[in-house]
Amino acid sequence: MDLDDPMIDNLRRIAFARDVRVQDLTVAILERPRHQELIADVAGTGARIRTLEEGDFASAVMAALPGSGIDAAIGIGDLHATLIAACAVKCLGGEFLARLMPRNDEERKAIGDKASHVYGLGELAPAADIAVAITGVTGGPLLPGVTFGSGYAETSSLVISSRHATVRPFMGKYRPQAGDGAWVGPGLVAPRNGYLMGGIP
């Protein structure tokens, strides 16, 4: 893939690798005003589009996860989520390309000539041994959110490992600790993208 090439060329490469037509591909894009041009570009190729309300990180993982129904993910997202997504995609054997997108003159000045540099997995996730843990909080296309029952909370998570080449789903149940009402287990915090993410590069 090449970020400087037209959208159709990159989707043709993905279609060739999957032995399908471009029209058979499904591309995930976060539904944001900044992505309207990308959505139009993908629509012009004939590929299917799955727009997501939340989950730029999730879409990247789903594109590399067999059986997810997503063949590629495209978008402009948060730097931290991008790095963790790159770690997860590397664990899954996928391909990941990114470029810095300065939002103003100050950021353009700060990154200088790096604005045109394309980062691959070798730079974004250079370690050979990587593990990523993801827990759904508010819920999304990759994982359901936290559910609450009578005296307990239930979470769904994925642990992805490059060392063992595994994707392990698991469910956790947490109950209030006797006496002070504190929850046993990790704290539940709802970040903007609806997932708790941790990477060990």
Domains of the chain: 7-124 (3.40.190.90), 131-200 (no CATH)
What is the structure's pLDDT at 178? Answer: 54
The pTM of this model reads 0.80
How far apart are the C-alpha atoms of 105 and 26, rounded to whole Å? 35
Beta-carbon contacts of residue 40 (< 8 Å; ≥ 6 apart): none
Residues 145-197 pLDDT 10s: 899 888 888 999 999 999 888 899 988 888 766 555 444 454 443 344 444 44
AA letter at 144? P
The burial of 139, by beta-carbon neighbours within 10 Å (0-12 exposed, 13-18 middle, 19 or more buried), is given as middle
Bridging pattern class, strands 72-73 and 26-30: parallel
Token pair recorded at residue 39? 């959505």
AA letter at 6? P
Provide mean pLDDT across the span 135-150.
87
Q: CA geometry: angle at 51 spanning 48 and 53, to 5°?
A: 170
Residues 8-47 pLDDT 10s: 999 999 999 999 999 999 999 989 998 999 999 999 999 9
Distance of CA 158 to the CA centre of its chain: 13
What is the structure's pLDDT at 141? Answer: 85
Block residue for tokens 């003159």: 105
- C-alpha distances (whole Å) from 137 to each of 63, 174, 191, 193 are 21, 14, 8, 9
AA letter at 154? E
Provide mean pLDDT across the span 74-80.
87
